[in-house]
Amino acid sequence: MHTQPPAALDSILHQHGHQPTELLQILIDAQALEGWLPAPTLTDIARALQLPRARVEGVAGFYSFLHTRPAGRYRVLFSDNITDRMLGNAELMDALCRKLWIEPGKLSEDGLVSIATTSCTGLCDQGPAMLVNGRAISQLTHRRINEIAELIRQQRPLDAWPTEYFHIDDNIRRRDTLLSLTMKPGEALAAAIARGRDGWLAEMQASNLRGRGGAGFATAVKWASARNAAGDTKVIVCNADEGEPGTFKDRVLLNSFADLVFEGMTLAAWAVGASEGFLYLRGEYQYLRPQLEAVLARRRAAQLLGADVLGQTGFDFDIRIHLGAGAYVCGEESALIESLEGKRGTPRIRPPFPVTHGYLGRPTVVNNVETLAKTCLIALHGGEAFAATGTAQSAGTKLLSISGDCAAPGIYEYPFGVSIARVLEDCGASDTQAVQVGGASGMCLAAYEFQRRIAYEDVPTAGAFMIFDGTRDLFEVARSFVHFFAHESCGFCTPCRVGTALLKGFMDKLADGHGAQADLADIDWLDRLLKNASHCGLGSAAPNPVIDTLQKFRPAYERRLVSLDFEPAFDLDAALAEARQLTTRDDPGAHLQTHEEDTP
Amino acid sequence: MTRQFLLDGQPVPFEDGQSILEAARQAGHYIPSLCWHKDFPAHGSCKLCIVKAAGRHVSACATPAREGWEVESNTPEMNGERRGLLQMLFVEGNHFCPSCEKSGNCELQALGYEYEMLSPRFRHFYPERPVDASHPDVLLDFNRCIFCELCVRASRDVDGKAVFALTGRGIDKHLVVNAESGRLADTDFSKDDLAAHICPVGVILHKGPGFAVPIGERDYDRESIRQKKLRDEEASS
């Protein structure tokens, strides 16, 4: 006996053409109906898409922003990057919980509101930040928290909240070639088309442009591989799943330079011969979607997208926006492709690589937002001009997302080769103890390394640049990143699934004052196993913050050790308290003698 | 001309496209595994088959063999890492070998012996994983799941039923069945499915007489997992 899905769900299913590849998008839309995904809704979706229900449940359970239990009409998530913590997010969350009489992570009894934390929301330059039903609010203060508590209590719909809450600044502090570029939409594309596909790819080769997502793979080589791969429908994906803690450059590019990004995707399509494009937009940035759709519509109307782009017969290319839902691992390109296909974001076995077998088995290019925007410069001014800037191995400029202890956090564009010291001076940092470059998975640099330079050959980065002054505790910085990786591990492979959770346990043990020298040895051993044995970059990068801080800031760990030998993670005698209570005993015999010398 | 690589210094011939693990087993060399199965594509999740090939750590099941490679497998370093992975699997779930019906036939337990795992080393997670006894013929004891996904793959790709899937993420990842109620009895699962006979540990247990073969006389009581797997390989070729 099959009942029809409710009308609202039915229309969502229709909107997405009943495509299994749209499963994640359908789940996101379906959740908007009631704020969560009740079990019958998953059953209805599975039936409509002719998928096993267990697979739908598998996907719904993977993404942090999808709820298979009631989560409240107001779902408040405090961004919990280390920079939010440094700006006092814990006190603010505590205050909001007290005002609304609820515990973190639990739904209020009337089903009105839940409050929890979430990984970095990409607003580190204007934190502390939160998401309310997916919408970003920055610059939280106690005053604003009071107002929000009142709005929730009065059950005011989000659309009726003061609009200034939802205002997000770009905070561009330094412009170089990319951020000072003024270009008419289509100008770069016309220049590339005039060169022909081969000529355009040759310019790309001459430019030495390398991927801005951090790994630094040569963009032209990726494009050429996809172009030469067998397969008719080739795909260009823009990776806007900017989840690395401390990174927010893509937010700014998508907010104020969307034409450059979409034009870059079209330039890639022209070189590769692709007809389908996706912008994979992280769930945290869904507030950008309406304006991005508007840019796409404008570009379609101007014949910059669609059939016969700019009048080139046979050059058909269009772009769709696909939302993520809170999963850092989807920034890994093969996990991102799985997610695009409507699946759990689990990284694939490689080879084969996406350039030959990507989205639905088709040749697929996955490029970072900034990489694609940069291709406009190459189309306009030529590859040689681009290659002439930066350093020999790192051509062009890099956008840095600067946050933490400095006077002017925000976006800074520098030619590659700039020193850490110069950046620190420009953003008004003083008494700097350490800089975390490249986010949680990047490098922690101590003061003696500040003459090092931002470049693939020295300090590579996707753009995060978090500054910690002399008052900060580098152990707590590393611990927050370890928590981040444990939360974001997809759980596919043993070392990362269990290893990140174990590492978190060890760091918490030290933080709780139960640390011993033996724990440092175990941490060291886990670090190595994670690095060696993990299935993807998430697992192998997860120990980086610990490795760096253990090496450079060891006293931050050692001052927490209570023993040079072994110390259990819990108090043995305290663990017996419940038994004592049950037996109403508290005599000396009901207590454990934990030290030999105490026994008479 | 057959091509070959060196496994711990010994030449191992291989055919095009063959993985390091397949070629090694065929040549009579044991590389351990839990999620690998000869009838399914490589999965690469358990990482027990980790080897060092040309200096890099790789999964032997998912890495095609290459001419001239020097592969390290049965070395103190690699076996130490395997022991660590086994310890991780043991503390992650709830594994009470002495009272488990699968004891002696369990690959996780057998590998614990093979790699001389003498202690769990790490803190136990003690996850809460209720059993599902709803099905008339089969009991699901999720406490022992190691996420090899063999039941998921067998049910989906061979039985054509997709009874099992994984949900959750990270350390909270867990197995679910294909029913809104979450009960195995409400799926089309049958005790004759391949998925009912493929679990390398003790999650999918058949009801009826228990301990029909006494402990002490079971597969891995008689011989080590290394010997058994190599003998199985020889018998199937």
Q: What is the mean pLDDT of residues A62-75?
A: 96
Report if residue B50 sits inside a domain. Answer: yes
**CB atoms near residue B83 (< 10 Å):** 18
Q: What is the mean pLDDT of residues A452-465?
A: 96
| Integer angstrom CA distances of residue A467 from A123, A141, A174, A446 | 15, 21, 17, 11
Q: What is the mean pLDDT of residues A565-592?
A: 86
Task: Please report the pLDDT score of residue A3 as a whole number.
Answer: 63
Torsion sign, CA atoms A210, A213, A217, A222: negative
Task: Please report the pLDDT score of residue B70 as a whole number.
Answer: 97
Q: Flag whether pLDDT at A596 surpasses 90.
A: no
Q: Flag whether pLDDT at A598 surpasses 50.
A: no
B201 and B169, same structural domain?
yes
The answer to whether the Cβ–Cβ distance between B180 and A39 falls below 8 Å is: yes
- The closest CB to that of A494, out of B47, B169, B178, belongs to B47
B57 and B126, same structural domain?
no
- How close B98 gets to chain A, by Cα (Å)? 24
Helix axes B76-92, A517-533, angle to 10 degrees: 100
Q: Flag whether pLDDT at A573 surpasses 90.
A: no
Does B113 touch chain A if contact means CB atoms closer than 8 Å? Answer: no
Contact B167, B153 (CB under 8 A): no
- Give me the percent of chain A exceeding a pLDDT of 70: 98
In whole angstroms, give the CA distance from residue A86 to residue A245: 14
Torsion sign, CA atoms A376, A379, A382, A383: positive
Task: Please report the pLDDT score of residue A599 as a whole number.
Answer: 44
Residues A398-470, CATH architecture: Roll (3.10)
Position A564: which residue type?
A: L
In whole angstroms, give the CA distance from residue A210 to residue A393: 9
Name which residue leads in pLDDT, A287 or A564: A287
Confidence of residue A575 (pLDDT cuts 50, 70, 90): confident
Confidence of residue A144 (pLDDT cuts 50, 70, 90): very high
Query: Is the ipTM of this structure higher than 0.95?
Result: yes
Task: Please report the pLDDT score of residue A90 as a whole number.
Answer: 97
The answer to whether the Cβ–Cβ distance between B47 and A493 falls below 8 Å is: yes
The answer to whether the Cβ–Cβ distance between B85 and A533 falls below 8 Å is: yes
Task: Please report the pLDDT score of residue A574 as a whole number.
Answer: 86
B200 and B182, same structural domain?
yes
B170 and B133, same structural domain?
yes
Task: List the domain range (segments joined by +) for residue B193.
Answer: 84-209
Q: Flag whether pLDDT at A597 surpasses 70.
A: no
For A74-169, which CATH superfamily applies?
A: Glutaredoxin (3.40.30.10)
In whole angstroms, give the CA distance from residue A526 to residue A529: 5
In whole angstroms, give the CA distance from residue B11 to residue B211: 43
Report if residue B33 sits inside a domain. Answer: no
Q: Flag whether pLDDT at A425 surpasses 50.
A: yes
- Fold (topology level) of A475-563: de novo design (two linked rop proteins) (1.20.1440)
State the total domains in chain B.
2
- 3-state SS assignment for residue B10: strand
B148 and B190, same structural domain?
yes
Report if residue B228 sits inside a domain. Answer: no
B180 and B133, same structural domain?
yes
A534: closest chain B residue by CA: B47
B152 and B54, same structural domain?
no
Does B56 touch chain A if contact means CB atoms closer than 8 Å? Answer: no
pLDDT per residue rounded down to tens, chain B (237 residues)? 579 999 999 999 999 999 999 999 999 999 999 999 999 999 999 999 999 998 999 999 999 999 999 999 999 999 999 999 999 999 999 999 999 999 999 999 999 999 999 999 999 999 999 999 999 999 999 999 999 999 999 999 999 999 999 999 999 999 999 999 999 999 999 999 999 999 999 999 999 988 889 999 999 999 999 999 999 999 987
The answer to whether the Cβ–Cβ distance between B168 and A491 falls below 8 Å is: yes
- The closest CB to that of B92, out of A39, A53, A498, belongs to A498
B149 and B95, same structural domain?
yes
